[in-house]
Chain A
Amino acid sequence: MKTLRTAVALGLWTAGLVAAQAPKYGVGRAVSAAEIGNYGIMVGADGKGLPEGSGTAVEGKAVYAAKCGNCHGAKGEGGIGTALVGGKGTLATAKPLKTVGSYWPYATTVWDYVHRAMPFDRAGTLKYDEVYSVVAYVLFLNGIVEEKQVMNASTLPKVRMPNRDGFVPDPRPDVGRMGKARE
């Protein structure tokens, strides 16, 4: 029901924008594709926007040791940084461990986040091949891909994450009285 309402609302607000398509104020300027490129890639959950390049866990192991293990632990067990490995079967327990392997629904998200935000102290320095490699390694540590499985723009979106179906839409309000306070 709530999901349905949201879907309807999605259409309505966009329709309102479309009805008023002509620019009114003419501020700002047009941008070329090259300029947009300078802002960095955008990566969708379907893999749209993933760049060329590739890597496997074999290469990723070295990248991980050099640039990730300090914070996330030698085997992804966590440290200053969050745990990346483990936690399978813990989500419905009193002590859930949310990792790439146990929680993250899309492998593309791992790629996108590593590319944008990691390493924490030098974000944006990893080359595309390094990102594919290190993501392959983290997926391998979680038993999701094989050690020599090549990750690239076409294979990565096809990786099925264990918790892919673990997310549900927001059902709120789910707690609390919806009627008048005093009746």
Chain B
Amino acid sequence: MKRTNRRRVLQLGAGLGSGLLGKAEEGRAPGRPLSGYGERSKYVKPVRTMRQTKTPQAGSSATPLADMYGIITPSALHYERHHAGVPDIDPERHTLLIHGLVERPLLLTMEDIRRLPSVSRIHFLECGGNSGGEWQEKTGPDAQRSYGLASCSEWTGVPLRLALREAGVKPEAKWMIAEGADACRMQRSVPLTQDLDDALLAYGQNGEPLRPEQGFPLRLLTPGWEGNVQVKWLRRLFFTAAPHYTRDETSRYSDLMPDGKARIFTLMQEAKSLVTFPSGGRRLAGAGWYEITGLAWTGRGRITRVEVTLDGGNSWQDARLDEPVLRKAFTRFRLPWRWDGKDAVIASRATDESGYVQPMREQLIAVRGRNSGSHFNGVKMWRVQADGSVTNEDA
């Protein structure tokens, strides 16, 4: 009895919300029918942003980080970085060749690869050039356009070492050249270090096959390293004693320092974090309670701490980390905040299990100058102004 009443009240509420009041006689028609493949609500509109370019096959699109909940990036919003477009690959015809300094050169079909023992793990993926604009005088105006070339997915695949055992890597092999099946046949030289212990030949992403933009049907996943080395549309692994110094590890994805020398094979994505609310472009309705939240990640394992400042870095307090805190994965942090309606400069700072503390932007620039272009992981400040608007704070 009581329950019925409550339901009526809820229905009335729904009617009010849907503007059906006054049409009581018509009643409520049912909604959309069943569908084979779901779409998000038409009221939910965040999309990946792109820069204007004459060659949209060779560019990047960024994840709307400020619109994300939790730690998983919806596959359709995972950031993109392509160098010669997204190839159309029939998985029935796709193969992986393993050759070079191996005992048994091997050809694997996707069916072969799926027969090997597999794992599913949650890992972030970040472009080595993410936040590249933050080195410049004018920084990115919002979370998406400053830190958006980072996303996090559950990946499924075969541990790389299991597949390599089938081919038998020779002791003199120290590098692995990974090649993609995109038009440019993207190649990167991968050092055979212990960081590859958790490397995967990945074919699954968030419960379904990889999205084409993420390398369907097969990609290399080397968690914690820059995205470019985690070659998509993987068609070949070639074992050598020395790196090949390919275009994308020399001309690109190298970090130019103030003395004119460039750092090479800068693979590690160091600890980084970002307040996603409040962040640039948002507006607070007025003084009162809000939840400050954001994301932290590190290529060196787990995030152990995230601190938040409300006064531009003069003082810091610990944010709460959502459990579980996973290795080389987005970690969600939260801090309830009562805004007094005055100017506030808000930022987060991450620490990881190696003891590394995310540096301030000025510290990075002082050491590496402004021409590095890559691997910016400095603290990002947002200014909340008295009118509730939120902007980037370059100072």
Q: Show the binding face of A for B, using Cβ within 8 Å.
A: 6, 9-10, 12-18, 20-31, 35-36, 39-40, 42-46, 80, 91-92, 94, 96, 98, 100, 103-106, 108-110, 112-113, 116-117, 120, 123-124, 166-181
Contacts and interface: CB of A to CB of B under 8 A. Distances in A.
Given A23-B165, A39-B236, A45-B243, A178 B192 contact: no
B259 to A, nearest CB: 6
B256 interface: yes
Interface string B93-136: 00001111001111111001101100000000000000000000
B308 interface: no
A38 to B, nearest CB: 9
B99 A172 contact: no
B49 interface: no
Interface of B: 54-55, 57-58, 83-84, 97-100, 103-109, 112-113, 115-116, 161-162, 164-171, 173-174, 177, 183-185, 187, 191-197, 235-236, 238, 240, 242-247, 250-251, 254, 256-268, 270-271, 305, 307, 349, 351, 354-359, 363-364, 366-368, 370-371, 375
B250 A167 contact: yes
Contact of B244 (A24, A112, A123): A112
A44 B174 CA distance: 14
A123 B349 CA distance: 44
A167 B264 contact: yes
A139 B183 CA distance: 25
B370 to A, nearest CB: 8
A30 B244 contact: no
Contacts of A12: 194
Contacts of B113: 27
A180 B177 CA distance: 37
A43 B145 CA distance: 37
Contacts of B104: 23, 30
- Identify which of A172, A174, A180 gathers the most chain B CB atoms within 10 Å of its CB: A172
Given A112-B246, A175-B367, A123 B84 contact: yes
Contacts of B245: 45, 105-106, 108-109
Contact of B106 (A6, A30, A100, A169): A30
20 contacts: A13-B196, A23-B104, A23-B165, A29-B106, A31-B97, A44-B244, A92-B258, A98-B256, A109-B244, A112-B247, A120-B55, A167-B250, A170-B264, A170-B266, A172-B263, A175-B359, A175-B366, A176-B357, A176-B363, A179-B355
Contact of A80 (B55, B243, B358, B366): B55
B164 A17 contact: yes
B112 A27 contact: yes
Q: Main secondary structure on chain A at its contact with chain B?
A: loop
B265 A28 contact: no
Contacts of A124: 183, 185
Nearest to A48: B240
A148 B263 CA distance: 34
A27 B108 contact: yes
Contacts of B305: 181
Contact of B358 (A96, A171, A176): A176
A30 B260 CA distance: 47
A179 B305 CA distance: 13
Given A12-B194, A181-B351, A166 B251 contact: no
Given A9-B194, A17-B165, A109-B251, A28 B107 contact: yes
A36 B357 contact: no
B177 A21 contact: no
Nearest to B187: A116
Contacts of A112: 187, 244, 246-247
B85 to A, nearest CB: 10
A45 B367 contact: no
Nearest to B238: A42
Contact of A123 (B54, B183, B193, B238): B183
A37 to B, nearest CB: 11
Contacts of A9: 193-195
Given A24-B166, A39-B235, A92-B258, A172 B107 contact: no
What 8 A-B pairs are tightest by C-beta distance, nearest first?
A92-B260, A117-B184, A91-B260, A176-B359, A113-B247, A28-B108, A9-B193, A167-B264
A98 B270 CA distance: 25
Given A44-B242, A104-B251, A116-B185, A21 B168 contact: yes
Contacts of A100: 251
Given A17-B161, A17-B164, A36-B97, A45 B262 contact: no
A17 B101 CA distance: 13
